[in-house]
Amino acid sequence: MHILMLAFKSIVNRKFTIALTVFSIALSIMLLLGVERIRNDARESFASTISGTDLIIGARSGPVQLLLYSVFRIGNPTNNVSWKSYEEIKDHRLVAWTIPFSLGDSHQGFRVLGTNLDYFNHYQYGDQQPLEFSQGKPFSTVYHAVVGADVAKELGYSLEQEIVLAHGTGKVSFVQHADKPFRIVGILRKTGTPVDRTVHVSLEGIEAIHVGWKDGALDLKQPKTVDKTSLLDLQPKTITAVLVGLKSRLAVFRVQRYINEYPKEPLLAALPGVALQELWDTMAIAQQALLAISILVVLVGISGMATAILTSLNERRREMAVLRSVGARPWHIFVLFMGEAGAVMTIASVTGVAALYLAQLIARPIIQTQLGLFLPIHPPSSHELFLLAAAIGTGLLVGLIPAYRAYRYSLADGMTIRL
């Protein structure tokens, strides 16, 4: 098509002015797709934090709060679950397995989780993937620790290294029990979940950290040497949460009701999928605002393009007259200007998508370490392609305005060269 060739040459001729329009639209498209991509991938990464668990049980609070402190290891529980309740839940006839969680301590800013060997057997994330060791094995005594992949990498830990675990959750702990060193016996493979940022010890290990502590203060009367601690009765009296797997998923509501109506202490059983969705929904407004803003930015870019083409229209009226004189039809003029809008949108889309991948390549490691979100680099999803097509379609639709004006001009002017 000859007229599109002309449109192309005209664009090349004005490449610097057009480049500005293309640049702004490309940026807006990158923003739009970037926001959408983060929304979707974060959701997926989020939803795959835990899987295979039928119920999360903790002291009575909200499901979102329970999910936050047990699975995401953010914040602290207000109350605990007694050991006796835990044992009763464990022995319930519909329960296949349990994982006890005892949280509340930290190591160099990483959370310390007290649990038992069931954790390594039953904990699943993503698409029902079990935890795997990249080195070593599970803990087998009180002073053994298993660290997540990020802990090992960021703190430079290796097997057999001795570390000190402190009471409390601050990054810098006031009092560190240098006298109770733990030895790293295992390093977990990367999961892309909060497990990577956790130090795991046995439930007895957690008790050992606290021996000699009473109500958050050091009890000087208690003996607190390593040897003696090992010998004490370290059976915990309370834990923070329990993950439960059932023999049959069909029983999930029954067990949930049983826990929620548990007579001996106020407990809450949350369905992880429902709680995840609820947590995600609390962020929905912010996400939608972000999406709305990025759509508006695209519209601003597109109206900038329309303005630029409309402004050029007047000075191009003589070009239109010349084209008419050599036999161009008014709709050729229309196509000439539509071609320009089309080319701007196409180049901007390609540039925007390329910039998105570049930005993702650069930002990915930062997002992963800072936010714990694993954002995979994948080809554009059909949803992203739809957004892209919608942006191009809007650009073409808006491009109709200057093109139609040019068409009217060329009908009215004919071959008259207007200045």
Pick 7 or 388: Cβ nearer other proteins: 7
Pick 351 or 410: Cβ nearer other proteins: 410
Q: Which stretch binds other proteins (CB under 8 A): 6-14, 62-70, 144-152, 223-231?
A: 6-14
Cα separation, 257 vs 42, whole angstroms? 31
Restricted to residues 265-324, the positions that interact with other proteins (CB under 8 A) are 318-319, 321-324
Window 351-370: contact mask with other proteins (x via CB under 8 A): --------------------
Say if residues 103 and 165 touch (Cβ distance below 8 Å): no
Count of residues in contact with other proteins, rule CB under 8 A: 24
Say if residues 52 and 216 touch (Cβ distance below 8 Å): no
Give how far the C-alpha of residue 267 lies from the chain's centroid of Cα atoms, to the nearest Å: 29
> To the nearest whole angstrom, how small is the minimum distance from the Cβ of residue 367 to other proteins?
44
> To the nearest whole angstrom, how small is the minimum distance from the Cβ of residue 309 to other proteins?
15
Restricted to residues 397-416, the positions that interact with other proteins (CB under 8 A) are 414-416
For residue 134, the surrounding DSSP H or E stretch is strand 133-136
Q: How far is CA 275 from CA 99, 316, 373, in A?
A: 18, 61, 18
Restricted to residues 329-348, the positions that interact with other proteins (CB under 8 A) are 329
Q: How far is CA 96 from CA 54, 60, 259, 274, in A?
A: 10, 23, 15, 21
Pick 311 or 416: Cβ nearer other proteins: 416
Window 7-26: contact mask with other proteins (x via CB under 8 A): --xx-xxx------------
Structure tokens at 157: 């830990």
Restricted to residues 313-332, the positions that interact with other proteins (CB under 8 A) are 318-319, 321-329
> To the nearest whole angstrom, how small is the minimum distance from the Cβ of residue 299 to other proteins?
29
> To the nearest whole angstrom, how small is the minimum distance from the Cβ of residue 20 to other proteins?
18
Say if residues 92 and 267 touch (Cβ distance below 8 Å): no
Restricted to residues 183-202, the positions that interact with other proteins (CB under 8 A) are none
> To the nearest whole angstrom, how small is the minimum distance from the Cβ of residue 11 to other proteins?
8
Pick 9 or 408: Cβ nearer other proteins: 9
- HEC sequence for 212-272: CEECCEECCCCCCCHHHHHHCCCCCCEECEEEEEECCHHHHHHHHHHHHCCCCCCEEEECH
Structure tokens at 375: 């954002």
Return the biggest CA–CA distance within the chain. Answer: 105
Pick 175 or 322: Cβ nearer other proteins: 322
Restricted to residues 68-87, the positions that interact with other proteins (CB under 8 A) are none
Pick 64 or 313: Cβ nearer other proteins: 313
Cα separation, 108 vs 173, whole angstroms? 8
> To the nearest whole angstrom, how small is the minimum distance from the Cβ of residue 404 to other proteins?
17
Pick 292 or 322: Cβ nearer other proteins: 322
- In eight-state DSSP terms, residue 386 is H
Pick 59 or 320: Cβ nearer other proteins: 320
Pick 330 or 372: Cβ nearer other proteins: 330
Cα separation, 187 vs 137, whole angstroms? 8
Torsion of CA 210, 211, 217, 218, to 10 degrees: -130
Positions that interact with other proteins (CB under 8 A): 2, 5-6, 9-10, 12-14, 318-319, 321-329, 414-417, 419
